[in-house]
A = this chain, B = another copy of it.
């Protein structure tokens, strides 16, 4: 029940917040603020773009969603299900796939240690062309 998640985050349960969180949960994908705004408008919801940006940032701070900065220029958001993962992005169709590699995760810790960094976060994005016919032909 997403309403409890919103309340736990110290935020009041409002229609925009419930709508945005529900959309992210049911969609499952990696959506930009503009995506969320447009989808909600298409579904007949009345919502302001500023609210979408504001709420997504609040959800990020509250740990409900994770922000990803792909090289597209705009941030995309996904539900934070607690398990970190990294991304593969198709440069042609924009498809996003997720992966988690224990070896890479471990090596990063070691590298940070070697450089005297206390690691806080990381972002690994592999760009390429997916195996769809219209994409694989480079």
Contacts and interface: CB of A to CB of B under 8 A. Distances in A.
Interface of A: 69, 71, 88, 90-91, 97, 99, 101, 103-104, 107-108, 111-112, 114-131, 136, 138
B131 A116 contact: yes
A121 B127 contact: yes
B129 A117 contact: yes
A124 B87 CA distance: 11
A88 B112 contact: yes
A108 B104 contact: yes
A108 B121 contact: no
Given A103-B103, A115-B97, A115-B99, A120 B108 contact: no
A16 B50 CA distance: 40
